[in-house]
Structure 1
Amino acid sequence: MPDAETTQQVITDAKPFGDIDGGCDCHAHMIGYDPRFPLSSSRAEDPEQGSLHYWLDQYRTHLRSLGLSRGVIVHSMLYGLDNSITAEAIRQLGQTNFRAIGLVDNEVSETQLDKMAQDGFKGVRLNYVHGGTLDWRGTQALAPRLRARGMHVQILLHSHKHMTEIAPALKQLECDTVIDHMGWPDMAAGPNEAGFSQLLSLLADDRVWLKLSGVYRFSESPFSEADSFVRAALAVNPTRCIWGSDWPFIMLGGANQPRVPDLSAALLRAIPEHKLQQAILQTNPTELFSF
């Protein structure tokens, strides 16, 4: 992983989106070395050095460089089920323009969920790709408890591996569902692949939201391979699509470290229409995250 100086250069060189008022980066992570926020003993890697204060400053710079003023911090599994670093980040950033997604297990208590909602968490994450302590059965049981608190489920999966299995149950899930990283599709199979087609069907029926993020994980810069997937999603339901950078690019898993300007340029190339940019960066996140 790059050192902090390299990361800062990547952020500073980014190109702003322009005049999107109230625009939101709907997917970033927060890291920082602090004895209050212990790392998980089962973590896959160590985050970059730097205090939480340092990384919050970097995050603010990241947003300014894109011309965005809102953000969603997705709790990293590097810290396990202890969501405190993410809660502290939201506390310092302020709930006016910032929200969080947390990690829980099947046994999460009512008290824990109440505290998360109070701290600005708008959802929890189910991870089919890297694993985790929340499984699909637990998610189904948890869904009405989340809905009662204005929260949703965020799912990281491979659409070509997992969507056929869970699509029927997703139609019945008793809370909103956000699919991360465009369903991490199989680029070689194209947007007509069966699993991605099922994802698009759910999107068309307002059963899921789709995050147009993570393209660097399954394609190479300038990420033009992903354009047809982005456009296919927008063709069926542009009111349910949002965008996130995935900054600061942790747990790369063999993917190349991306540059933020390349990620923003990829979105603008795939979606040149200003009206759609406004919907994806501002209107849709405002509805989903209750800004």
Structure 2
Amino acid sequence: MLCDCHIHSFSKAPSAGKGTYSPPNKDLGDYKPEASQNGIKRAVVVQASIDGTDNSRLIDLLSSHAEIELRGVATINPETADLPYLHSAGIRAIRVQDRERLGQSDLDKLPILVECAASTGWHVELNTEPRSFDTIFDHISCLPESTLLVLDHLGHVDPDSPEEIGKLFRLLDTGKVWVKLSPSRVSRRIGNYNDLMAMVTKIGTNYPRQCIWGSDWPHVLTKPPLPEISPMLAFLKEALNEEQFLACMSLNPERLYGF
């Protein structure tokens, strides 16, 4: 059962955060036709930065769509979050923003957020970039045994930078870090993603149990033409062998998000 591990859902309702962009008016109803056409039966809805730490829209969404099995990734206030309630609603991870482009970095909160995740059996997802890889590496030795870190969007590495790719592999070598293979965020060739082939093939070969896929639908902060899911899946089928593709698209998400 294929799983898209990174989508967002927006609506016309005002957001609670101080967003750095204007979101498209696209919600899960707009996503489901493309998902269905590509055999996707499960999806993980990631709370967008514009919602701040208000989880209400995400919680409502997780309980309102029976046609596709959902889990959620929430941005939380560790001092006020009701973690058991969020877990019962379908949340399985905490998101941490660390992007210069967005003017946001909560990496200093990582220790307390890891503590929250560990208490619920969740993991932590980092929307980060290579400038922070060394800092993240230093945190790994302090992680609880059962708690994982997941890097969004291939860690935003430059596919032409051996140094950045090397630092990504250094994190994966620890066994405590997973990565989302979201090609449209880092490729310079929207539609075929061949500039990522060598890197993604190596990830599939060396870290087959540490990778998942996310489309990043509806592709905010992306210039037209917007990416489509079908070419992403075609690329992954070429970059990964059959066993690796099954792990990335089905088995790994199942155990990470508890489907």
Normalised to the residue count of structure 1, the TM-score between the two structures is: 0.80
Letter in 2 for 1:43: G
> In 1, distance between residues paired with 2:239 and 2:38?
17
- Decide which of 244, 253, 277 is 2:245's aligned counterpart: 277
Q: How far has the Cα of 1:96 moved from its partner? A: 8.5
Kindly state the Cα deviation for residue 179 of structure 1 after the two structures are TM-superposed.
0.7
Mapping of 1:6-25 within 5 angstroms? Answer: 22-25=1-4
**C-alpha displacement of 1:56:** 2.4
Gaps of 5+ in 1: 1-21
| SS of alignment partner, residue 81 of structure 1 | coil
Note if contact 2:159-2:186 (Cα within 8 Å) is conserved in structure 1.
Answer: no
Q: Which structure shows the higher strand fraction?
A: 2
* CA offsets 1:62-85 (integer angstroms, 9 cap, x no match): 221110111100011122221211
When residues 169 and 227 of structure 1 are mapped into structure 2, their CA distance, relative to the original with a 3 A threshold, is: same
Q: Secondary structure at the match of 2:121?
A: coil
Give the structure 1 partner of residue 237 of structure 2. Answer: 268
Partner SS state of residue 5, structure 2: strand
Task: Work out which of the residue numbers 211, 216, 221 in structure 1 matches 2:180.
Answer: 211
Alignment of 1:173-252 (within 5 A): 173-174=143-144, 175-189=147-161, 192-193=162-163, 195-221=164-190, 222-252=192-222
Aligned residues: 254
Residue 151 of structure 1 aligns with which residue? 122
Query: Is the contact made by 1:126 and 1:139 (CA closer than 8 Å) also made in structure 2?
Result: yes
CA contact (8 A) 1:187 1:226 kept: yes
Aligned position for 1:86 = 58
Give RMSD over aligned pairs.
Answer: 2.2
CA deviation vs aligned residue, 1:12-35 (integer Å, no higher than 9, x gap):
xxxxxxxxxx2100000011113x
Range moving further from structure 2, 74-83 or 196-205: 196-205
TM-superposed deviation, 1:217: 4.0
1:10 corresponds to:
none
Q: Which runs of 5+ in 2 are unaligned?
A: none
Write the mapping of 1:35-114 to structure 2, written as runs, cut at 5 A: 38-40=14-16, 42-49=18-25, 55-93=27-65, 97-105=69-77, 107-109=78-80, 111-114=81-84
Distance 1:48 1:131, change over 3 A: same
The structural deviation recorded for 1:236 is 1.8
Shift of 1:274: 1.6
What amino acid does structure 2 have at the position aligned with 1:137? D
Q: 1:234 to 1:255 in 2, by over 3 A?
A: farther
Deviation at 1:166, TM superposition (A): 2.2
Q: 1:25 touches 1:72 (CA, 8 Å); kept in 2?
A: yes
1:268 partner letter: K
Counterpart residue type for residue 138 of structure 1: K
